[in-house]
């Protein structure tokens, strides 16, 4: 299997049995899915302390001794802001599995675990990490973009309504027609009103915002240019690259490689 990305994600093992943990860590499946081992914690307390002080994307928690309680661990983990996702490897107890999933665990694997089981769980974890980070980047981009616009002479009340609309439509590509219908106007009237109040067409305004969002995704280092093009609704990576250069004066790879 081709590696989907070289060490895009940080992985922490939490396992009170170092020998078993070492056997898991020797597998190539972690690297294939883009994970680099950040450390190994031999207790829940150490794992949580590490997570609170260091950047970790995924915790693989192996239930081994009585003091390694996956339900209690995932409950504490769920309360950590911007904390990592978790995969639990354990005995397969239905009650424990249910509690872990309620706490947001990505997957619960029952030993013995095959590499294929781990790979499938890791791919689910990757999708969860990327979705969460993309949402955070989107929220940041909205806040920064509209804060800058608020410093101009644009209509602040109208901009607030537009900001709310953009925030509510994460993951969608909005057209001028869509925005006009949301505000209850026909497209031509909305277009003229928007230009008068904001100083540019809605299409220009929205394209500039998307490029701000794209720049944040590029700087995260998580995504390929083609992935970002697809996320923003561009038909091809080349078209996205041309538009990004037009609005920012930079090539996507220049921004991505700055990380």
Which three-class secondary structure string do you get for 149-185? HHCCCCCHHHHHHHHHHHHHCCCCCCCHHHHHHHHCC
Q: How many CB atoms within 10 Å of residue 23?
A: 10
Q: Are residues 83 and 173 in the same domain?
A: no
Q: Are residues 59 and 153 in the same domain?
A: no
pLDDT of residue 134 exceeding 80, the answer is: yes
CA–CA distance, 37 with 6 (Å, rounded to integer): 12
Q: Are residues 247 and 139 in the same domain?
A: yes
Among 53, 56, 57, 69, smallest CA distance to 16 is for: 69
Q: At which of 113, 145, 166 does a domain end?
A: 113
Residue 124 resides in a domain: no
Q: Are residues 86 and 197 in the same domain?
A: no
Q: What pLDDT was estimated at residue 25?
A: 83
Q: What is the mean pLDDT of residues 53-82?
A: 88
Q: Are residues 80 and 138 in the same domain?
A: no
183 close to 190: Cβ distance less than 8 angstroms: yes
CA–CA distance, 166 with 70 (Å, rounded to integer): 39
| Domain, as residue range, for 166 | 130-256
Q: How many CB atoms within 10 Å of residue 17?
A: 14
Angle (nearest 5°) at CA 176 between 211 and 210 = 10
DSSP 14: E
Q: At which of 113, 139, 169 does a domain end?
A: 113
Q: Are residues 93 and 192 in the same domain?
A: no
Output the pTM of the full model. 0.80
Residue 14 resides in a domain: yes
Residue 97 resides in a domain: yes
Phi, psi of 229 (to 5 degrees): -55, -45
Strand order in the sheet with 35-41: 35-41, 9-14, 58-62, 85-90, 107-110
Provide the pLDDT confidence category of residue 205 given band limits of 50, 70 and 90. very high
201 close to 191: Cβ distance less than 8 angstroms: yes
Q: What pLDDT was estimated at residue 61?
A: 94
| Mean per-residue pLDDT over the chain, rounded | 89
Provide the pLDDT confidence category of residue 17 given band limits of 50, 70 and 90. confident
For 48-54, the CB contacts below 8 A with 24+ separation are 48/73, 48/76, 48/77, 48/80, 50/12, 51/12, 51/77, 51/80, 51/83, 51/84, 52/80, 54/10
Q: Are residues 151 and 97 in the same domain?
A: no
Residue with tokens 């921004």: 255
Q: Are residues 136 and 250 in the same domain?
A: yes
CA–CA distance, 68 with 72 (Å, rounded to integer): 9
Q: At which of 60, 79, 113 does a domain end?
A: 113
Q: Are residues 63 and 150 in the same domain?
A: no
pLDDT of residue 257 exceeding 80, the answer is: no
**The domain that contains 101 carries what CATH number?**
3.40.50.2300
**The domain that contains 214 carries what CATH number?**
1.10.10.60
């Amino acid at each position: 299997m081709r590696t989907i990305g070289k060490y895009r994600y940080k992985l922490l093992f939490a396992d009170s049995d170092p020998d078993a943990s070492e056997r898991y860590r020797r597998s190539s499946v972690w690297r294939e899915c883009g994970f680099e081992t950040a450390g190994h914690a031999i207790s829940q307390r150490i794992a949580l302390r590490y997570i609170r002080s260091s950047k970790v994307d995924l915790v693989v928690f192996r239930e081994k001794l009585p003091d390694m309680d996956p339900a209690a661990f995932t409950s504490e983990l769920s309360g950590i802001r911007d904390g990592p996702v978790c995969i639990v490897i354990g005995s397969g107890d239905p009650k424990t599995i249910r509690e872990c999933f309620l706490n947001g665990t990505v997957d619960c694997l029952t030993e013995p675990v095959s590499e294929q089981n781990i790979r499938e769980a890791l791919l689910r974890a990757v999708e969860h990490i990327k979705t969460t980070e993309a949402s955070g980047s989107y929220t940041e981009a909205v806040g920064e973009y509209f804060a800058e616009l608020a410093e101009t002479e644009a209509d602040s009340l109208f901009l607030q309504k537009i900001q709310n609309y953009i925030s509510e439509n994460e993951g969608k590509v909005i057209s001028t027609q869509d925005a006009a219908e949301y505000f209850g106007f026909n497209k031509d009237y909305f277009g003229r009103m928007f230009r008068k109040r904001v100083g540019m067409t809605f299409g220009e305004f929205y394209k500039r915002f998307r490029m701000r969002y794209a720049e944040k995704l590029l700087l995260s280092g998580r995504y390929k240019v083609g992935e970002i093009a697809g996320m923003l609704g561009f038909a091809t990576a080349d078209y996205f690259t041309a538009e990004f250069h037009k609005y920012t004066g930079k090539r996507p790879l220049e921004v991505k490689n700055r990380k």
